[in-house]
Chain A
Amino acid sequence: MSDAPERTVDGVVEVRGLNTRLGGSVIHEDVSLTVVRGEIFALVGASGCGKSTLLREAIALLQPVSGSIKVFGQEVVGLSDEEALPLRRRWGVMFERGALFSSLTVMENVGVVLREHTRLSRRLIDENAAVKIALTGLPPDAGHKYPNELSGGMRKRAALARALALDPELLFLDEPTAGLDPLSASGIDELVRQLRDALGLSIMMVTHDLDLLWRGADRVAVLGEGRILGIGTMTELARSDHPLIREYFYGPRGRAAREQAWKRNSATPQ
C-alpha cells in the first residue's frame, strides 16, 4: 500500500519527508503523502498518532522540525501569518470543536470571513452567509442563534458553513463527525461528498469514523508509529496485512462498518 502509485502530477497538498517533534517526543518521522485535486483524502490512526498535528502543519499553524509541505504548489513550512494569508483565503478549515466565535451569531460567524476578505455589499454578505448555512443543511432560523444555543451536530454544520464562506478550493476537516449521533454523522459525510461533487473541492480530513471512511473517503492514509503505515482506497487497505492496520480495520467496530459498506456496494453495483 505504501508504495501505491503517488500521482504527484496534480497534488493539492504534498507532504515530503516530514519530521515533527513535540515536547521531546517524535510525532512524525519521514512522512510523505499527496492529496490529489478533487479527492476526499482521510488521515486515520490511533489517538495521539499525530493526525491533527499533521493537519495543523498543513494549515501553517504549527512548524515541523524538517521536511516540506506544499499546498497549491507553494511551500507552507516557515511561512509567516502574513505570507500565509493569500493561501489561507483559498482553503477552509473546520476545527474539531467547531471554534465558532461564541459572541457572534452563526450568520455573523460566516459573515465575518466575507466582511474581512471581500468588499461585498452588506446585503450580499448576509445572503451569502444564509446560502452557506442552507448548504450545510442547517435550518434557516439557526442563523440568528448563538453557538451555545446549538446542539453539537448543528455546531459542526455551522463550523462547516464558516469554512465554506470564501468558497475555498480545499477544505481541511478535523474530526467532522466526532461526537455526533449516527444520523447527524451520516448527514455530514453525505454533505461532504455532495459539496465535493458540486463545488469540485479537494478535502483533507482527520477522522476516526469508520463509516465515514467507507462511504466518504476516496483514499486513506494510516498513520502509526510516526510513519505512514499504508495509503490507498479502503478496499486496498482492508487487504493489507500490516498488524496495526489490521487491528484498526478488523476490530469489532471496523468489521461492522466494513460489512455495512460491502452490503451497500453489492446492493448497488457500480
Chain B
Amino acid sequence: MLSGDSQKMGMLTEQAADVSRGSAAGEMSCTGSWTVGGLASLEPRVEAFAWPAEGELAIDGSAITAMDTSGAWLLHRTRSTLELGGRSVRLHGLRAEFDALLKLIAARAAGAQVPSPPAPSALAKLGETAWIGLLRLWGMLSFLGEAAVAALRSIAQPRRIRWQPILHNLQTGGFEALPITGLLSFLLGIVIAYQGAEQLRRFGANIYVADLVGLSMVRELSPLITAIIVAGRSGSAYTAQIGTMKVTEEIDALRTIGIPPLELLVLPKALAMIVALPLLTVYTDVMGILGGMVMAHAQLDLSYGTFLDRLDDAITLRSYLIGIGKAPVFAAIIALVGCYQGFQATGSADSVGRQTTTSVVQSIFLVIVADALFSVIFSWLHI
C-alpha cells in the first residue's frame, strides 16, 4: 500500500473510497483510499456511475489518498471498459506513485483475465466416467497381477522376503487390534444371546442358546465383524500411508533405489494380514462365545458347564474351519484394496482422503460380497 500516513493508522480508519460527479462535465472524481478493504462498497458505486452518453470523459484521481493493486485494478478496469466502448477517457491528477502502480497493473494485467475452460457436455462427461471406470478396472487387474508376480518371485527367492515389515504389520494390524475386536465380538455375543433367549425360553429350549451363539459367531459373524473392523483400522492406514508416500514421491524414490515398491509395501502387508486375520478370528470366536455364555447365565440361568457341554455338540470342526477359512480371503481383499487405492492417490492432500474413503468402502463391500459367495458355494456343496 502506498501512503505514508495511512499505513500507520491501518486500513479501517482510512477515509472510505468513493466516487462523485466531478466539476467538469463527464468527469468522475475519485476520493479516499482505494485499497482492498474498501473496495467491496466502492465497486457497485463505480459501476453505477452515470456517464454521459456523449463527449469526452475524464477521471479525476487527485483526491485518492491511498492505492493498492486491487484499487489500481478497479481504476484500470473502469477506464478500459469505457475505452473498449469507444469512448476516450482522460485520467488526470493521480499522484506519481499511484500512476506508476496503475501503469504496472495495466502492463501486467493485459490478457490476465482468462475465461475458465468451458464445462464439458453431458455426453462427454458420460464418456469420461465410463472410460475412467474401465481404466480403473484395468488398473486393479494389473495391480493384482503385479502383486501375484511379486509374491511368486518372493516364494522362488525366499531371501527377498522382508521379515521386519511383516512382523511390524503383524504387530500393528494384528496384535494391536485385539482389544477392539475382542470387545466388539464380546458385545455381539451378548446381543445374540439376549435376543435368542426370549424366543428360546418360550419353547423351553433354553439349552439351544449355545447352538445359536456358537454357530452364528463361529461360522458367520466373527470372521465378518473382524474383517470389517480390520478393514476400517488397517485398510485405511495402508491407503493413507502409501498415498502420502506417492504424493511426496517416496514411491518414485524407492523405485529409483531399486527396491520394488510392491515388494516392500504390499507383500509384507498382505502376508501379515493373511496370518493375522485368521488368528484374530479365533480370538473373536472365543470372545463372542464368552459374551453369549455370560448372557445365557444371567438370562436363562444356564450354567457355564452346561453351556460348554452343549457347545461341544453344536459346533462341528467343519463349521469352525469354514469360519476360519474365510479369514485369509478377507485378509487378501483388505490388504490388496487398501494398497491399490493408496497407489491411486495423485498429488493432493484431498486425493489421499478420497482414496482412503474409497478403500474402506470398497474393501468392506468386497468382504461382504465374498462372504455371500462363500455361502452360495457351501450350500451347493452341502456343507
- Which residues on A are within 8 Å of B, measured CB to CB? 37, 72-73, 86, 89-90, 102-103, 114, 118-121, 124, 127-128, 130-135, 140-141, 143-144, 146-149, 164, 166-167, 169, 194, 198-200
Contact = CB atoms under 8 A, between A and B. Distances in A.
Contacts of B69: 128, 131-132, 135, 164, 167, 199
B262 to A, nearest CB: 23
Given A131-B69, A135-B109, A169-B1, 18 more contacts: A103-B348, A103-B349, A118-B37, A120-B40, A124-B40, A124-B70, A128-B69, A131-B70, A135-B104, A144-B117, A147-B347, A148-B346, A164-B69, A167-B68, A194-B104, A199-B2, A199-B68, A199-B69
A171 B288 CA distance: 62
B115 to A, nearest CB: 9
Given A121-B40, A130-B109, A131-B73, A200 B97 contact: yes
B347 A146 contact: yes
Interface of B: 1-2, 7-8, 10-11, 35-37, 39-40, 43-44, 68-70, 73-74, 77, 97, 100-101, 104-105, 108-109, 111-114, 116-117, 247, 346-351
Contacts of A89: 11
Contacts, number: 103
B348 A167 contact: no
Contacts of B68: 167, 199
Contacts of B97: 200
20 contacts: A73-B8, A103-B349, A114-B36, A118-B36, A118-B39, A120-B36, A121-B43, A124-B39, A124-B74, A127-B113, A128-B70, A130-B112, A131-B112, A147-B347, A148-B347, A166-B36, A167-B70, A198-B104, A199-B68, A200-B97
Nearest to A105: B116
A37 B247 CA distance: 40
A199 B40 CA distance: 21
A162 B104 CA distance: 18
A147 B73 CA distance: 25
Given A118-B39, A199-B68, A200-B1, A127 B73 contact: yes
Given A120-B40, A148-B346, A199-B101, A128 B117 contact: no
Nearest to A140: B114
A198 B101 contact: yes
A25 B109 CA distance: 48
B357 to A, nearest CB: 14
B261 to A, nearest CB: 19
Contacts of B116: 144
A241 B277 CA distance: 68
Nearest to B47: A121
Residue of A90, A134, A146 contacting most chain B CB atoms (<10 Å): A134
A102 B353 CA distance: 12
Contact of A167 (B35, B77, B109): B35
A133 B112 CA distance: 8
A148 B248 CA distance: 11
Contacts of A118: 36-37, 39-40
B284 to A, nearest CB: 38
B376 to A, nearest CB: 42
Contacts of B101: 198-199
Contacts of B40: 118-121, 124
Given A118-B37, A167-B36, A199-B101, A124 B43 contact: yes
A148 B37 contact: no
A172 B7 CA distance: 18
B112 A102 contact: no
B180 to A, nearest CB: 31
A147 B346 CA distance: 12
Contacts of B44: 121
When A and B form their complex, which 3 residue pairs have the shortest distance between CB atoms, in order from nearest? A148-B347, A103-B350, A102-B348
A209 to B, nearest CB: 24
Contacts of A130: 109, 112-114
A1 to B, nearest CB: 29
Which residue, A131, A148, A194, has most C-beta atoms of chain B within 10 A? Answer: A131
B70 A134 contact: no
Contacts of A200: 1-2, 97
A76 B245 CA distance: 36
B170 to A, nearest CB: 33
Contacts of A147: 347-348
B113 A120 contact: no
B121 to A, nearest CB: 19
Nearest to A201: B1
A149 B74 CA distance: 30
Contacts of A114: 36
A118 B40 CA distance: 7
Given A118-B36, A164-B69, A169-B7, A131 B350 contact: no
Contacts of B349: 102-103
Contacts of A164: 69
B374 to A, nearest CB: 40
Contacts of A37: 7
Nearest to A200: B2
A131 B117 CA distance: 18
A135 to B, nearest CB: 5
Contacts of A72: 8
